[in-house]
Amino acid sequence: MKATKNYLAVDMGASSGRLIAGRFDGEHLELEELYRFENAPVKMTGMLYWDLPGLWQHVQNGLQIAGAKYDGGITSVGVDTWGVDFALLDRNGRFLSNPVCYRDERTDGVMEQLLQDVPRSEIFQHTGLQFLQFNTLYQVLAMKQQNSPLFDVAESFLMMPDVFHYLLSGEKSNEFTNATTTQMFNPVTNDWAFPLLDKLGIPSKFLGKVSPPGTVLGTLRKELAESACLPDTKIILPGSHDTASAVMAVPVEADGGSWAYVSLGTWALMGIESPKPLLHDTVSELNFTNEGGVGNTMRVLKNICGLWLLQECRRIWNTERRHQQLEPYSWDDMSRMTQQAVPQVSFIDPDAREFLGPTNMPKAIADYCRRTGQKVPETQGEILRCALDSIALKFHQVLEMCEQIGGASIDTIHIVGGGTKNRQLCQTAANLCKRRVLTGPIEATAIGNIMVQAIAAGDVRDIAEARQIVRASFDIIEFLPEN
């Protein structure tokens, strides 16, 4: 019987973050959420920034709670976040600016302008990444166009999870899975796409060595270890892109047939796992992306606008209700309203540009239906039903694309992440995709983060064993297609 060990995942999304402890006895994993905090960008001087000092304070708060709860017995800590966003540091290791949020308008038109000068196929062959206007490449090009003085003094480039690993350990690293989200990384050479960057006039002096998931950076900084009472806690790189950690935790069996995954939250990342990058023309034409996974795998996937549609509707309506001094809508209220509406009446394209950051999401959904000659959803339930059905229909479309690029039919869709709590969406996905849908675990990102730490510590043999542990430790719910 192995001794129980405690691991700590800092799981930070674009709207909230958590510190989750994992107690592992060698066969089963149990989770405990120790600390939760909100995360939202802040607009200053016309730009949308992440509040890095505030986020770092929350991480420190969570560490102190973990140290007190487990009496210093935390084996290691790993951080996962969203992709594409970054910070630049000077030669003294000081941050030059708060990181800019990917929803900032500075990248408007940058991608389109680049594609007038450089063929799309050339960029894809260098990077294997799908074309999204907020990719790191276009953020950096926007800085270049604006003659940013930061380039003159920047000595280090850190993606968001790299930032927190640096603050925790004092060691700078560029973790593989997040580096692959930049459209500045070549998945074939397994290094930065230096020829492309040189052609575009983008400085590469600050790009560091890329480290794989499972790399041990060292131990917690001395002052942090003392304040949190965590004297021997190591810092281990998980799949630091949150989707890489989530896919790590997909509870697929070794002989489970062909499968696709959806990591469902604010965004829905849908794709297949591949032992190598797929760079053929069909992948490019369908705008799929090759992002790094754990264990020398690639996540060949497509970004889909997920529960952001519903989250923004709820935010708008609850703002109105606060002004009216009414109780805010809960997610259960939203579910009831959706259930009362007739399904599959109107559809939107969740990835249309008008849904990236509208000031009023319900109005944007209604306007889209009006513009495309469909029945316009009027009630709140009809708007939510339209959004939910549209996400599920997008899953159906992307599933067909996955089968096309992978060259095989797919039997099962695994949906993991917090979005699995929306059972209406999971059932609708099964109905429209005409496939068996298995949902869970809910906390897939934190679980995948912790399992990579356990592999690095020698407590779990490999990914296959880690997925077996996930199946044994957490509930998996099956949804079958209805008529």
Which of the residues are catalytic?
242
Instruction: Give which of 356, 362, 355, 423 is closest to 392, Cα–Cα.
Output: 423
C-beta separation of 438 from 477 below 8 A: yes
Buried b (16+ CB within 10 A) or exposed e, 264-275: bbbbbbbbbbbe
Gap between the Cα atoms of 10 and 35, Å rounded? 10
Characterise 181 by phi-psi region: left (phi > 0), alpha (psi -120 to 50), beta (else). alpha
Angle at 106 between CA 101 and CA 110, to 5 degrees: 120
Gap between the Cα atoms of 245 and 448, Å rounded? 4
Beta bridge partners of 88: 157
Helices in 70-169 by DSSP H: which ranges?
A: 110-117, 120-127, 136-145, 150-153, 160-169
C-beta separation of 292 from 177 below 8 A: yes
| Residue the block writes with tokens 């697929």 | 252
Backbone dihedral angles phi then psi of residue 214, each to the nearest 5 degrees: 100, -5
| Residue the block writes with tokens 């998945």 | 187
Beta bridge partners of 12: 17
Gap between the Cα atoms of 200 and 103, Å rounded? 23
C-beta separation of 80 from 241 below 8 A: yes
